[in-house]
Structures are given as C-alpha cells and as structure tokens.
Amino acid sequence: MDFSLLEEHRMLQETVRRFVKQELMPLEPLVLQRDTQGLTGEDLLPNDVEDRLHARAHEAGLGGLDVPEEFGGLNLGTLPKCLANEALHHTITPFTFPPDAPNLHMLMQTCTPEQREKYLLPYARGEQRSAIAISEPGAGSDPAGMQTTAVKKGDQWVINGRKIWISRAHVADFIIVMAVTDKGKGSRGGMTAFLVDKGTPGLVLQRQIPVIGSHAPWEVVFEDMTIPDSQVLGQLGHGFAPMQLRLTVRRLEIGSWCVGMAQRCLDMMVDYAKQRVTFGQRLADRQAIQWFIADSATDIHASRLMTYHGAWKFDNGEDVRQEASMLKVFATEMATRVADRAMQTHGGMGMSKELPLEFIYRRLRPMRIFEGPTEVHRWVIARSLLKD
Ligand SMILES: Cc1cc2nc3c(=O)[nH]c(=O)nc-3n(C[C@H](O)[C@H](O)[C@H](O)COP(=O)(O)OP(=O)(O)OC[C@H]3O[C@@H](n4cnc5c(N)ncnc54)[C@H](O)[C@@H]3O)c2cc1C
C-alpha cells in the first residue's frame, strides 16, 4: 500500500495553494463585509472580481481538472479534484474551478452527440453554469417520492410541478430537472432527467429562500413547461442512476471541503493558542486547549484519509456509495466539531463576524442536510450492513 501522492498531484496542490494565498485570501475582508451586508452565494464577490479570478484560474491552468481529455479537460480524476477543493476551502472566499458542479459526471454518462456540443463541452470549459432540480416540497431525502411530471405530447414534453432548495437556479444556463415519466415504475424505470434552458417559457423562479450559510437556494415552478424530445437527458425512465452517480461525486467533494475548512480552523486555533495569555499562561499551555487541538488534528487526519481513499477508489472505477455516505456523515460532523472548538478557543473573537470562523460555522451547517441528511446516510450505511 502506497499513500504518497503522485508528483503531478503534489504540483497541482501547490499551484492551488498559491492561487488561494495570492488571489483568494486577500479578498476575505471583502467577503466578510458583504456577508455582513446580507449578500449571499454568487453575490459575495462583485462580478468584476469573479471574472478576474476566473481569468487568473484559467491562466494558471486550473480548469477542467476532472474533465476527460476528449471533453477538453486535464483528465486528472476525482482525487486531484478533491485535493484542489481541500486547498480552495482553506479560504472563505467562494470560488470554484470550472466546471461548477459534479453535474459533469451525470452529463458524461448521458449526453447525446448534440447535447455534448450544446451543453457538455461549453460546461466543461467553464463557459456555462448548471443547476440540478431534484428536491420537492414533499420529497427531499426521498426523491423517489417526487411528484413533478413530464408528459409526452407529440414530440414535446410538458412538465408540471414544483422544486425547492435549488442552488444557483438564477445563474444557471441550464437546469437538469428530474421528473416522473411513469408513475407506476417510480425510481425503477419511471424517472427521467431533462435539460432545461434558462428562460424556457413555463420555467418560473418563484422565490429565493434565505438559509443559514452562504447559500440562498430557489423554489422553482414548472407551469406547462414545454420542451422538445431532444432535451431528454439519458435513457427515458432511467434518470435515477446517473443522478445518484452525480450525488456520490458531490459527497466526496463535500469531504474535501470539510477537510479544508477544518484545517483552516485548526491553523487559526494553533496560532491563537500560542499568542493568547490568560491568568499568566498561554492558552497553548492549557490542557483543555491542547486537547481541542489534538482532537481536531486527529479528526482532520481521519477525514482526509477517508476522502482520498473514496476518491481514489472512485477513480479506479469502484462503487463508493457506501464510503461516500460514511464520508458525508463523518466529515460534516468532524468539521462542525473542529469549527466549534476553534470558536471556543477564540473566546469573544470566535463569535465575531470580523474573523472567518463564524462564517465557516454557518457554512458548514447546511452540509449536514444537502446531498442527503446525516440520518439518511447513517440509515443507508446500516441498512446495507444489516441486509440478509
Ligand atoms: C442550502 C441547500 C441547498 C440545496 N441545494 C439543492 C439543489 O441544488 N438541488 C436539489 O434538488 N436539492 C437541494 N437541496 C435540498 C436537499 O437535498 C434536501 O433539503 C435534503 O435532501 C433533505 O430533504 P428535506 O429538506 O425534504 O428533508 P426531509 O426529507 O423532510 O427530512 C427531514 C429530516 O428527517 C430526518 N429523516 C428523513 N428521512 C429519514 C430516515 N430515513 N431515517 C432517519 N431520519 C430521517 C432527517 O433528520 C432529515 O433532516 C438543498 C438544500 C439546502 C438546505
């Protein structure tokens, strides 16, 4: 067993760390200021700053990391993408190397040659943004219970229904919409994915919902939204499996986000403990704080290994659904514990919006809900172990 990273992976890690230090860290005061003003998501950075960052990332060759060469990417795989994500999440400045979400993996499995030209290639190049609409008011953890329907009329599909909590719906050039095409079959042959372009008549962005953290997802309604048959993504009735693949990749990525955020909290805790003196002694000399630090370092180490292992296994074509569930549970809870310890160590400053800790703590909270709540993942893990 060899735990060392390949040279090309280490070089990528170094490049991303440099990008974070030079480009993203200096923007943190601006992000904190805009967060305090109530701005969220994409608005945490002004458009011109975001454009500049994308240009710099492009210059540094930091796009399409996990995109296969045939689609114009670097073909490095999921492990390097996780390494890059870990380094990126050292900072609270929100930035993603394109493409913006693991929808790539769903598209790669399903696109027709025409869809490849229109959606996959521009998306892989970072020229288009995407969203995915699965959750509904009555079906979140259990997407098999979704009610949105797509009915074939001639060579068109008419979609009606309501989705909720859809991240980036307002900036997406296209949304992957999951809908029921055969009620009798449900998730086993009755659920289909559709590509829906921004501005399609009948696609209504109903309201943006402010939530804890830096997200503000959307409620989206489809009112007799009519799209041509060519917008079916993948095999009719079989949208569930590619959607699950996409969720699995995101769960691995969330592991790497959590490791990056927790590492930042630990670094801040270590620095502060060495400076801050109370009752004539440094915090670093107090066992209570030493244990915070030791437990956090141990937590991070375990999550990092779980992330790298899951990503490596995925890159080797193995089924990692179980590992991804374990990681999603462990890493999100781990980072919450570490952020909490860091805030406690900083005392009043830990509560303040002048330091990134409070921002990180809020950002972590919804991660125990989206891409499947913690309890559902625990249930899934146990169910597979307990089955006869
Ligand atoms: C910030 C944010 C962004 C999101 N982005 C997207 C997006 O882009 N696209 C999208 O489609 N969705 C998105 N979601 C939706 C998210 O995936 C769902 O909220 C999540 O799956 C939970 O569904 P629910 O809210 O309906 O909760 P429910 O399914 O009602 O569950 C409520 C709670 O019940 C418990 N529970 C449920 N089932 C079980 C079980 N089997 N065993 C034990 N306990 C259980 C859990 O504690 C769970 O938190 C987002 C959500 C948030 C908060």
Task: Please tell us whether the domain made up of 7-100 is placed in CATH 3.60.15.10.
Answer: no
Long-range (24+ apart) CB contacts under 8 A made by 337-341 are: 337/295, 337/296, 337/299, 338/262, 338/265, 338/266, 338/296, 338/299, 338/300, 339/261, 339/262, 339/265, 339/364, 341/265, 341/269, 341/292, 341/295, 341/296
- Residue 40 in contact with ligand 1 by CB distance below 6 A: no
Which candidate, 351, 267, 278, 316, places its Cα nearest to that of 78? 316
Q: How far is CA 381 from CA 2, 142, 185, 386, in A?
A: 27, 16, 25, 9
Q: Whose CA is nearest to atom 30 of ligand 1?
A: 140
Is the per-residue pLDDT at 154 higher than 90?
A: yes
Q: Whose CA is nearest to atom 52 of ligand 1?
A: 370
Ligand 1 center–CA 359 separation, angstroms:
22
- Residue 255 in contact with ligand 1 by CB distance below 6 A: no
Ligand 1 pocket: which of 220, 370, 371, 381 to mutate (most atoms within 8 A of CB): 370
Q: Whose CA is nearest to atom 25 of ligand 1?
A: 140
pLDDT per residue as tens digits for the range 71-98? 888 989 999 999 999 999 999 999 999 8
Structure tokens at 371: 């891409």
Q: Which 8-state DSSP code applies to residue 271?
A: H
* Domain 130-233 CATH class label: mainly beta
Q: Most confidently modeled of 40-54, 86-100, 257-271?
A: 257-271
- Residue 240 in contact with ligand 1 by CB distance below 6 A: no
**Mean pLDDT for the chain overall:** 96
150's enclosing H/E stretch is strand 149-153
Where exactly are the structural domains of the chain?
Answer: 7-100, 130-233, 241-386
- Residue 102 in contact with ligand 1 by CB distance below 6 A: no
Ligand 1 center–CA 355 separation, angstroms:
29
| Amino acid, res. 95 | F
pLDDT per residue as tens digits for the range 265-307? 999 999 999 999 999 999 999 999 999 999 999 999 999 999 9
In sequence order, the 6+-apart residues with CB closer than 8 A to the CB of 388 are none
Is 331 in contact with 367 (CB distance < 8 Å)?
A: no
Q: Which of 27-36, 118-127, 156-165 is least confident?
A: 118-127
Structure tokens at 311: 């990503």
Is 123 in contact with 116 (CB distance < 8 Å)?
A: no
- Residue 132 in contact with ligand 1 by CB distance below 6 A: yes
Ligand 1 center–CA 374 separation, angstroms:
9
Threshold 0.85, pTM exceeds: yes
Ligand 1 center–CA 209 separation, angstroms:
15
Ligand 1 center–CA 33 separation, angstroms:
30
Given pLDDT bands bounded at 50, 70 and 90, which one contains residue 159? very high
Report the length, in residues, of the chain.
Answer: 388
Ligand 1 center–CA 136 separation, angstroms:
9
Percent of the chain with pLDDT over 90: 91
Report pLDDT for 71: 87
Instruction: Give the catalytic positions in this structure.
Output: 371
Ligand 1 pocket: which of 168, 369, 379 to mutate (most atoms within 8 A of CB): 369
Given pLDDT bands bounded at 50, 70 and 90, which one contains residue 355? very high
Q: Whose CA is nearest to atom 42 of ligand 1?
A: 376
Given pLDDT bands bounded at 50, 70 and 90, which one contains residue 66? confident
At residue 339's C-alpha, the angle toward residues 258 and 381, to 5°, is 45
Given pLDDT bands bounded at 50, 70 and 90, which one contains residue 215? confident
Q: Which of 64-78, 111-125, 316-330 is least confident?
A: 64-78
Cis before 242? omega within 30: no
Superfamily for the 241-386 domain: Butyryl-CoA Dehydrogenase, subunit A, domain 3 (1.20.140.10)
Structure tokens at 144: 């098999």
Residue 48: Cβ within 10 Å count: 8
